[in-house]
C-alpha cells in the first residue's frame, strides 16, 4: 500500500486526486491550512475506501509552520512513497496589490515555490528510506523569467507575473531535485495538469474555466502511478505529454542563483 502526501488537498485538484487515490487503495495524507476542511476531506477519502487517511495542518505562508509540518509527517508517517506539492496561490483578484507571507516574502513566491522547496528537502530522508519514491510538483505552463535583481517582484508588481515567476522557480527546483536524487531511486517531475480548471483559484482570477479537475486529475494520477515515473526524472509535463519549460529552467547558472537566494531567504526567516 502506497502512502501519498498531497499539499493543498482541501480544494480543487488536490481534493479530487486525494479521493481518487483513496478509491484506488492508497493511504492518503491530506494537507490543508484549515483543520475543519482537512478533516472533511479526510472523511471523504475514508468514505471512498481510502485506508487510514491522515491529516496534517500547516499554513505554507509561514516557514516555521512548514518546519512543524515536516516534523509531524516524519513522526507519524513511517513511509512516504509520493510527495505531491500541489498547494498554491493564483494570480489573485484582478488589480489586487502585492501580498507578502508571514515571513515578509512575496506571497506567490513563498507558497508556490519556497514552501515546497523547503518541505521537500525536509522530507528527503523519509522519501529515500521509502524508495522507490516520487516527487511531483504541480506547476504551470504560465512561466516568466526570473529577475535576480528583483526576485520577489517588488517593482511594478503584477500578480500574474509573480505567479508565473514562482512556477518557473518550482520547475527549476524540480530539475535540481532530479540531479540531487539521481542515484537514490527518488524521481522528481513537474506538471501543468490542465489550463484553467474549474477551481476556486481560476474563479478568483475572473477567468472562465476551460477544463475540469478530472482532466487535470488524469495527468497528475499518471505521474503518481505510471511505472514510467520510476525512472523518468527532471522533466516537465503538459497534461499527459512531456513538454519544454521556459529556457531559463535549463540554465545551470540561473538555478544556482535561485538556490543561493532561496537558502538565504530560508535562513533569514527561520532564525526569527
Write down the catalytic residue from 113, 157, 163, 250: 163
Three cell numbers at 40? Answer: 472533511
Phi, psi angles (nearest 5°) of residue 74: -65, -35
How far apart are alpha carbons 124 and 169 in whole angstroms? 19
* pLDDT recorded at residue 197: 65
Domain that holds residue 105: 3-270
At 89, which CATH number? 3.40.50.720
Region for 207 from its dihedrals, namely left if φ exceeds 0, alpha if ψ lies in -120 to 50, beta otherwise: beta
* pLDDT recorded at residue 95: 74
Radius of gyration of the chain (CA): 17
Q: What secondary structure does DSSP assign to 43-105, as a single string?
A: HHHHHTT-SS-EEEE--TT-HHHHHHHHHHHHHH-S--SEEEE-----S-STT----B-TTSS
Residue partners of 71: CB distance under 8 A and separation at least 6: none
The dihedral through the CA atoms of 4, 192, 195, 7 has a sign that is positive
Domains contained in the chain, number: 1
* pLDDT recorded at residue 211: 65
Question: Quick check: is 163 catalytic?
Answer: yes
Three cell numbers at 204? Answer: 478568483
Per-residue pLDDT of the chain (272 residues; tens, 9 = 90+): 899 999 999 999 999 999 999 999 999 999 999 999 999 999 999 999 999 999 999 999 999 999 999 999 999 999 999 999 999 998 887 778 999 999 999 999 999 999 999 999 999 999 999 999 999 999 999 999 999 999 999 999 999 999 999 999 999 999 999 999 989 999 999 999 967 665 666 555 556 665 688 898 899 999 999 998 889 999 999 999 999 999 999 999 999 999 999 999 999 999 98
* pLDDT recorded at residue 25: 97
Residue with cell 515555490: 113
* pLDDT recorded at residue 208: 60
Cis-peptide into 132, omega within 30 deg: yes
* pLDDT recorded at residue 230: 87
How far apart are alpha carbons 27 and 39 in whole angstroms? 15
Amino acid at each position: 500500500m502506497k502512502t501519498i502526501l498531497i499539499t493543498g488537498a482541501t480544494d480543487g485538484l488536490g481534493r479530487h486526486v486525494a479521493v481518487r487515490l483513496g478509491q484506488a487503495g492508497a493511504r492518503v495524507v491530506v494537507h490543508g491550512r484549515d483543520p475543519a476542511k482537512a478533516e472533511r476531506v479526510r472523511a471523504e477519502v475514508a468514505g471512498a475506501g481510502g485506508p487510514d487517511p491522515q491529516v496534517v495542518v500547516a499554513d505554507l505562508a509561514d516557514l516555521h509552520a512548514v518546519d512543524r509540518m515536516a516534523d509531524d509527517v516524519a513522526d507519524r508517517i513511517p513511509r512516504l512513497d509520493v510527495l505531491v506539492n500541489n498547494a498554491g496561490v493564483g494570480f489573485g483578484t484582478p488589480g489586487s496589490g502585492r501580498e507578502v507571507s508571514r515571513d515578509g516574502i512575496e506571497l506567490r513566491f513563498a507558497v508556490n515555490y519556497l514552501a515546497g522547496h523547503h518541505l521537500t528537502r525536509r522530507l528527503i530522508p523519509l522519501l529515500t528510506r521509502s524508495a522507490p519514491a516520487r516527487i511531483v510538483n504541480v506547476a504551470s505552463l504560465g512561466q516568466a523569467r526570473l529577475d535576480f535583481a528583483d526576485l520577489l517582484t517588488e517593482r511594478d508588481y503584477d500578480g500574474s507575473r509573480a505567479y508565473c515567476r514562482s512556477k518557473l522557480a518550482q520547475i527549476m527546483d524540480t530539475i535540481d531535485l532530479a540531479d540531487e536524487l539521481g542515484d537514490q531511486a527518488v524521481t522528481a517531475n513537474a506538471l501543468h495538469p490542465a489550463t484553467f480548471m474549474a477551481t476556486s483559484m481560476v474563479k478568483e482570477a475572473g477567468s472562465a474555466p476551460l477544463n475540469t479537475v478530472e482532466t487535470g486529475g488524469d495527468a497528475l494520477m499518471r505521474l503518481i502511478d505510471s511505472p514510467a515515473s520510476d525512472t523518468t526524472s527532471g522533466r516537465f509535463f503538459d497534461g499527459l505529454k512531456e513538454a519544454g519549460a521556459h529556457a531559463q529552467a535549463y540554465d545551470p547558472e540561473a538555478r544556482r542563483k535561485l538556490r543561493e537566494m532561496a537558502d538565504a531567504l530560508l535562513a533569514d526567516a527561520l532564525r526569527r
